[in-house]
Amino acid sequence: MVTGFRKDVRNLGWLLGFLALGCNVESTGKDTGGVPKGTSSECPDGLVVLMSDYLSTQIALSELDGETQSESFLSTGSTETDGLAFPLCGDVALPGTRPESGLVVLLDRFGTNVVSWVDPETAEVLAQLSVATGFESNPSDYLEIDERTALLSRWGQNAEPGREDHDTGGDVLILDTEEPAITGSIELDVIDDLPPRPSALTRVGDEVWVTLDRVALDYSTTGEAMVVGISIEDLEVVWQERIDGLKACGRLATSPDGTRLALACTGELDETGGAEDLDQSALVLFDATASPPKEIQRIPAADITGEPLQSDVVFARDDLVLLNTQSAWGGDTNNRWLALDLETGETEELLEASPDADGAGKGGVYGAMVCAPGCSDTCLLADADRGVLARVRVPESGMPEAIDPITVETRVGLPPRDLALR
């Protein structure tokens, strides 16, 4: 999922060099191994929790309600015990879609550019694959489309391509997950001199819909967001649509009944992570049965919260979504976690982050959200402000109810940043 934390990384170029320092951090705790496979064939086994201070990374495994099963499944210090050829760095992300293989998949991004496949039962690193192809490719999202094929979006753009195979960047790689190996690349158009910057991948029927951020090489300009459709049968682009008036959009979330898709857009960000134009931020709903996308409703951020939205949205029920606000580092507002009733338009604040010691906002301290409607009535938020998993219980109707947060682990104390179903 593309959280506020990830958006800050991609749009604030000055952070990239800092994040690259995250490799080869010494281990601060012993790994705690894998967990037994779940018994349900219909529901996820649980959660992958990514904790990071942008220098060190720790992966934990939890139940769907957030209860910790393995607090240090893998970490930046795991090379001694797990034999990683490429150590984890401080800029690691999780796939937005649960891998059908049942493996834990990690995307080590800027500075490493590696995909890792890990057995959740044994914590064994089964394979790693460099997806750099000669430049900082910044892998963004991963989606398995059959038993041995996955797609990988690469946000990075190569300024001097032509030296290696598949080294243009701003593309979607085709991966053979059994080898593993890169077997092809689906190139995306550069429009108005803006690199495509593909981020999130969402399967919609027989297609994969790719969100394009469209950010200049020097980060000076952000274009209107686009969504591109890739045919799973042919592995080629079959349509591309501009999201008129909106910028910096995230993952397309699918409603539990499969009829609607939701897309949250933030708007162009400044150097503090603040959105410059509230009119560029909105929640957009699409007909999930139409291709190309058919917009059925647009709710401006001004009508939801009066503030820009983070580019992440999840369905808690068919009629209820959860959102975060986008707040600037050092600004006069704080991150807020919100519930929005799509039928009534009612918005309720679930949580607000604390300001810093000077009373200023801490920026994007709220990360990814996860819900599993039909399998769990608990939705969770990676709350780096308090260093916990914030939780709400979702009733059959009405607004969510806050329940006690969970501290994932206490030995190292890294804050949660990303969450994914497994």
- Spell out the residues 6+ positions from residue 344 whose beta carbon is closer than 8 angstroms to its own: none
pLDDT band at 88 (very low <50, low <70, confident <90, very high): confident
Q: Which residue, chain included where needed, has tokens 């959740």?
A: 120
Residue 95 and residue 110: Cα distance in Å, rounded?
16
Taking residues 392-410, report their average pLDDT. 97
Residue 347 and residue 303: Cα distance in Å, rounded?
9
Q: Which residue, chain included where needed, has tokens 């170029």?
A: 13
Whole-number Cα distances in Å, 247 to 211, 219, 267, 291: 11, 13, 4, 21
Considering only CA atoms, give the Rg of the chain: 20
Q: Is the pLDDT of residue 277 over 70?
A: yes
pLDDT band at 12 (very low <50, low <70, confident <90, very high): very low
Query: 362 is written with which tokens?
Result: 């801490």
CB 82 within 8 A of CB 64: no
CB 93 within 8 A of CB 50: yes
| Count of domains forming the chain | 1
Domain that holds residue 296: 4-421
pLDDT band at 89 (very low <50, low <70, confident <90, very high): confident
What pLDDT sits at residue 40? Answer: 83
pLDDT band at 258 (very low <50, low <70, confident <90, very high): very high
- Spell out the residues 6+ positions from residue 329 whose beta carbon is closer than 8 angstroms to its own: 272, 273, 274, 361, 362, 363, 364
Q: Is the pLDDT of residue 322 over 50?
A: yes
Per residue in 97-134, pLDDT tens?
999 999 999 999 988 999 999 999 999 999 999 999 99
pLDDT band at 316 (very low <50, low <70, confident <90, very high): very high
Per residue in 341-387, pLDDT tens?
999 999 999 999 999 999 999 999 999 999 999 999 999 999 999 99
CB 181 within 8 A of CB 174: no
Q: Average per-residue pLDDT in the chain?
A: 91
Q: What is the CATH number of the domain that holds 180?
A: 2.130.10.10
What pLDDT sits at residue 84? Answer: 60
Both ends of the chain: CA-CA distance in Å?
Answer: 13
Residue 76 and residue 88: Cα distance in Å, rounded?
5
